[in-house]
Chain A
């Protein structure tokens, strides 16, 4: 129990900001002090990226062979050259766009089904008892193992790839939502009850917001698995998509494009996780530090 802070216990005495605005130099210094940790992390991050690129450059230009063979690995400059070419190539952009679309549909469907299902399973024992065993049996099957089955199940290739993506993100979202529901503090439910809340509002105002942090954990993990599943599915059965692009580059012996495909996948994956994190901060303002 931290000691009660002075402002709090003496009643409302909000801290008054200084009346005169301090000189720019003072402000800059203060900003620097407050953000020192962040600046340091950014600086070190940039340096480590540069070192990585440099090592990559040296290893490939000198074609180092030391157990691992860098003979055919494209250099960063070669990848950069193929990147500048690719961004003007409508076909490459189509690959990226199609992958993004598949992620969007597969992931959104998973979220739309898994979150409400998890909430309902967490609240109603019978639903949990019916669905949980089936979910537990299907859950360990990797999405890639579903590829042949998916091709049989769905009329078009596109649908089966979206289905694989859906499956990949579905279970992490469901499991985390369930976990969040199981951790809801019963005292908060009681507090709501003796303020006159009925089942509906207890669900909406207690269970749902209390589970949100775990739901967002599930969404983040689910997004990662969605990309893994998508790329695998595209490599096996696609005709388009960034996974197919990467595999095709290998078949066509365009080594720079392999690395370009990989980097594109990494950047897209990072971007989509950041989107989810941003959404989480928007939806859960109380968790902002």
Chain B
């Protein structure tokens, strides 16, 4: 499996003076402004922020699907100019090719690189073994559970040995138990492959549990509101989520996000909309309550 493991520490992501606006009938929609982020080689960095703040926009720009309106995205000093196998991506909707078996999905990137069949079959099997999926190599994705699909998605993205791995709410559609297992699997793979990871999530616990550093974004137009180092030691255990250190980090991030989420929802909130948030307005305005 030597052909899969990254060689020297690589995968330094830099996003400088970044802004991006979408065109719409009412004029440009500023999705992200004035953003600087970076991911050091081998670092695990998460982005959290309220819904619609531009997390996916930022990640898609790093992937090369979107061009920044201003600013620049570089990986190892090279400007990002479109999608490439150097930057693997995992999507929330799994996005496995339904017409390919699990193994063919994993092999796809290697095939694109021109690797001979027998070699890429072996590589795919090894990787599937790491994710505990070798028994399912001949299955079509439709037959798999959500957790298994996303494991295949991760393995597929890692197969080509990318410098960085980008994940956009990859576990958002999974139930809580499956999500915890997936976090462990992702951590294991990340540590083995020594790859840089940029991880978008709206789950604060997940961000803290996984990351070396967390960026918290402001409401739209999104920019970086805070950068929080996560000094928790590794390997991390599930039990750490009860530690006072973890809880303190959680409280801090939670209040940052809540501020922004409320801004993001603005004046649209009615009594009805607040039920889920467990805040009672009793006729008072939102600003009065906070």
Given A4-B146, A188-B97; A195-B85 close (CB under 8 Å):
yes
A1/B175 in contact, CB under 8 A? yes
A187/B91 in contact, CB under 8 A? yes
Q: Is B290 an interface residue (CB 8 A)?
A: no
Please provide the chain B residues from 117 to 157 with a CB less than 8 Å away from any CB of chain A in the complex. 132-136, 140, 142, 144-148, 156-157
Given A12-B132, A206-B97; A196-B145 close (CB under 8 Å):
no
Name which residue of chain A comes closest to B91, CB basis: A187
In angstroms, Cα B84 to Cα A195, docked, is 7
Whole-angstrom distance between the Cβ of A280 and the nearest chain B Cβ:
13
The residues of B that contact A252 with a CB separation of less than 8 Å are none
The residues of A that contact B147 with a CB separation of less than 8 Å are 4, 8-9
Most buried by B among A3, A188, A205, A286: A286
Please provide the chain A residues from 204 to 252 with a CB less than 8 Å away from any CB of chain B in the complex. 205-206, 209-210, 212
B83/A193 in contact, CB under 8 A? yes
In angstroms, Cα B175 to Cα A286, docked, is 26
Whole-angstrom distance between the Cβ of A190 and the nearest chain B Cβ:
6
In angstroms, Cα B63 to Cα A39, docked, is 53
In angstroms, Cα B102 to Cα A286, docked, is 11
B132/A11 in contact, CB under 8 A? yes
Q: Is B93 an interface residue (CB 8 A)?
A: yes
Q: Is A262 an interface residue (CB 8 A)?
A: no
A8/B144 in contact, CB under 8 A? yes
Given A9-B177, A187-B91, A190-B65; A195-B109 close (CB under 8 Å):
yes
Q: Is B98 an interface residue (CB 8 A)?
A: yes
Give B48-86 as 1s and 0s: 1 = Cβ < 8 Å from A's Cβ atoms.
000000000000000111000000000000000011110
Q: Which of A195, A212, A286 contacts B160 (CB 8 A)?
A: A195
A185/B140 in contact, CB under 8 A? no
Give A1-19 as 1s and 0s: 1 = Cβ < 8 Å from B's Cβ atoms.
1111100110110100000
A212/B132 in contact, CB under 8 A? no
Interface size on B (CB < 8 Å)?
44
The residues of A that contact B132 with a CB separation of less than 8 Å are 11-12
The residues of B that contact A191 with a CB separation of less than 8 Å are 89, 91, 95-97
In angstroms, Cα B97 to Cα A286, docked, is 10
Q: Is A117 an interface residue (CB 8 A)?
A: no
Most buried by A among B84, B91, B133, B145: B145
Q: Is B18 an interface residue (CB 8 A)?
A: no
The residues of A that contact B85 with a CB separation of less than 8 Å are 194-196
Name which residue of chain B comes closest to A6, CB basis: B145
B177/A4 in contact, CB under 8 A? yes
Please provide the chain A residues from 157 to 200 with a CB less than 8 Å away from any CB of chain B in the complex. 185, 187-188, 190-198
Name which residue of chain B comes closest to A201, CB basis: B112
Whole-angstrom distance between the Cβ of B129 and the nearest chain A Cβ:
9
Q: Is B226 an interface residue (CB 8 A)?
A: no
Name which residue of chain A comes closest to B87, CB basis: A194
The residues of A that contact B109 with a CB separation of less than 8 Å are 195-196
Q: Is A284 an interface residue (CB 8 A)?
A: yes
B93/A187 in contact, CB under 8 A? yes
B133/A3 in contact, CB under 8 A? no
In angstroms, Cα B105 to Cα A209, docked, is 13
Interface size on A (CB < 8 Å)?
31
A194/B146 in contact, CB under 8 A? no
Given A8-B144, A286-B140; A192-B108 close (CB under 8 Å):
yes
Q: Is B270 an interface residue (CB 8 A)?
A: no
The residues of B that contact A8 with a CB separation of less than 8 Å are 144-145, 147-148
The residues of B that contact A190 with a CB separation of less than 8 Å are 63, 65, 83, 89, 91, 95
Name which residue of chain B comes closest to A187, CB basis: B95
A12/B99 in contact, CB under 8 A? no
A286/B84 in contact, CB under 8 A? no
The residues of B that contact A196 with a CB separation of less than 8 Å are 84-85, 109, 112-113, 160
In angstroms, Cα B60 to Cα A194, docked, is 11
Q: Which of A1, A11, A188, A205 contacts B146 (CB 8 A)?
A: A1
Whole-angstrom distance between the Cβ of B61 and the nearest chain A Cβ:
13
Q: Is B174 an interface residue (CB 8 A)?
A: yes
In angstroms, Cα B99 to Cα A5, docked, is 22
B112/A4 in contact, CB under 8 A? no
The residues of A that contact B175 with a CB separation of less than 8 Å are 1, 3-4
Name which residue of chain B comes closest to A209, CB basis: B99
Please provide the chain A residues from 263 to 289 with a CB less than 8 Å away from any CB of chain B in the complex. 284-286
Whole-angstrom distance between the Cβ of B244 and the nearest chain A Cβ:
31
B98/A194 in contact, CB under 8 A? no
In angstroms, Cα B168 to Cα A187, docked, is 12
In angstroms, Cα B142 to Cα A284, docked, is 13
The residues of B that contact A284 with a CB separation of less than 8 Å are 99
Whole-angstrom distance between the Cβ of A70 and the nearest chain B Cβ:
51
Name which residue of chain B comes closest to A195, CB basis: B109
The residues of A that contact B84 with a CB separation of less than 8 Å are 194, 196
Q: Is B88 an interface residue (CB 8 A)?
A: yes
10 other contacts beyond A9-B178, A195-B160, A286-B100, with CB at 8 A cut-off?
Answer: A2-B145, A11-B132, A188-B95, A195-B85, A195-B157, A197-B108, A209-B97, A285-B140, A286-B98, A286-B101
Question: 17 pairs across A/B with beta carbons < 8 Å?
Answer: A4-B174, A8-B147, A12-B135, A190-B83, A192-B108, A193-B83, A194-B87, A194-B88, A194-B89, A195-B88, A195-B156, A195-B160, A196-B84, A201-B112, A206-B97, A212-B99, A286-B100
